[in-house]
Structure 1
């Protein structure tokens, strides 16, 4: 049995990952910013470097950590305020950096770090500038940290999901027309489910996969790499 820390475990993907890991017999410590969604093991502002470090020091040791913190902002750059930009960067990139920093300090015997990027960092989508900047930063962080911490057998990988059906993305798929358009963007024509991403996170956390590091796994129904032929609707 392994012990894992899930930062922002109150997210839908975090909850799905928790369920998978616990089914496998692992121990999970979940954090959240508040207690309105779940009753976390630790209330944590994951943008606070010192607070994240204390979780590792006081609740560890951990065999792995996954970071699910993030936000959603769909605006072109010229309509994005500085406050909104800062919030996106803090939610996605600063939290990831804080976790890597703490893992490097405390997981001296190795383990796994899994970060959450996005298909928006792998391909160009209109009105995604702030999110793409943050999530592309997560990819850069993943690659550099994987190189830095390989000497202590600390593996660092990232997942880049497509559009996943969660509470966070509900506004994008609220109408039948919007849902159909979102489905059609993916070569495998459906939205992702939290457990699709959760299974990939669990795979990368698994100590059995100790020879995988510095990878960005696209769990996106082909969104970032595949351009299928147009489907013909039968008459």
Structure 2
């Protein structure tokens, strides 16, 4: 192992939603840096494959079964003796106007995104109360700027911002840091309809000032950074990893030109 990793070797993490595009990239990144990672996910086959690839323990979880998240974190605490960081990459995408969104779709969107984040904070704070640690949640650029047909998912992701700020204040005296990332459009299986054709990809990329869609590694690298001891003075922050989507006018709307 490279000696430059010595400061952060043997940290113990839990990644929920580990089989997703961002979660799997993050898990590989953390393990390659010398950390222990317990993988949490819903798809048993994908979990087994990722666990075998990374030689890492895994636990089957369901965002709608809150006890499964709590048991996953307790299992990590039992396995490692302490938990240094927990990341919730569990999420979904629903692109529908409010008047076409059913009760079931609304509840599922809230459960998968916001409720799973709340249970993550509740469970992580219990296992970290004596030792401190870092919690990272995933919000969205859609919670910070209005996009048509995003009512349900924007509301859920905005709730994660409120949860991040409040829980960061609550648990700061325990040495628990709580931060969130707010991605723009990321190239993943979940968002495939928004980028799978050349026309869709070009249109989506043009919404971002940096004129490209994000890669899972863009988000995973920021999350990994937030877990490091070097960021121990950062808490209560929502960091945009969005190519400027939530804060900068897209390139085609910018009138100024470079000389």
Fold equivalence (TM over 0.5):
yes
1:58 correspondence with 2:75: yes
Name whichever of 154-163 and 47-56 sits farther off. Answer: 47-56
Determine which of 132, 137, 141 is the counterpart of 2:163: 141
Give the alignment's TM-score, normalised by structure 1. 0.95
Runs of 4+ in 1 over 6 A off after TM superposition: none
What secondary structure does 2:117 align onto?
A: helix
1:81 correspondence with 2:102: yes
Distance in 2 (alpha carbons) for counterparts of 1:34 and 1:178: 28
Q: Deviations over 1:133-192 (max 9, x none)?
A: 000000000000000000100000000000000010111112211110001000001100
Across the two proteins, how many residue pairs are aligned to each other?
232
1:93 correspondence with 2:114: yes
- 1:48 aligns with 65
Distance in 2 (alpha carbons) for counterparts of 1:141 and 1:111: 17
Structure 2 unmatched runs, 5+: 1-9, 52-57
What secondary structure does 1:160 align onto?
A: strand
Distance in 2 (alpha carbons) for counterparts of 1:74 and 1:117: 16
Structure 1 unmatched runs, 5+: none
Give the alignment's TM-score, normalised by structure 2. 0.86
1:198 correspondence with 2:207: no
Do the aligned residues in 2 keep the contact of 1:48 with 1:98 (CA within 8 Å)? no
Higher-helix-fraction structure: 2
Distance in 2 (alpha carbons) for counterparts of 1:228 and 1:10: 32
Q: Deviations over 1:7-46 (max 9, x none)?
A: 0101100011011111211111111112132315100113
- 1:228 deviates by 4.6
Do the aligned residues in 2 keep the contact of 1:111 with 1:207 (CA within 8 Å)? no
1:98-137 matches, cutoff 5 A: 98-108=119-129, 109-137=131-159
Determine which of 7, 10, 15 is the counterpart of 2:24: 15
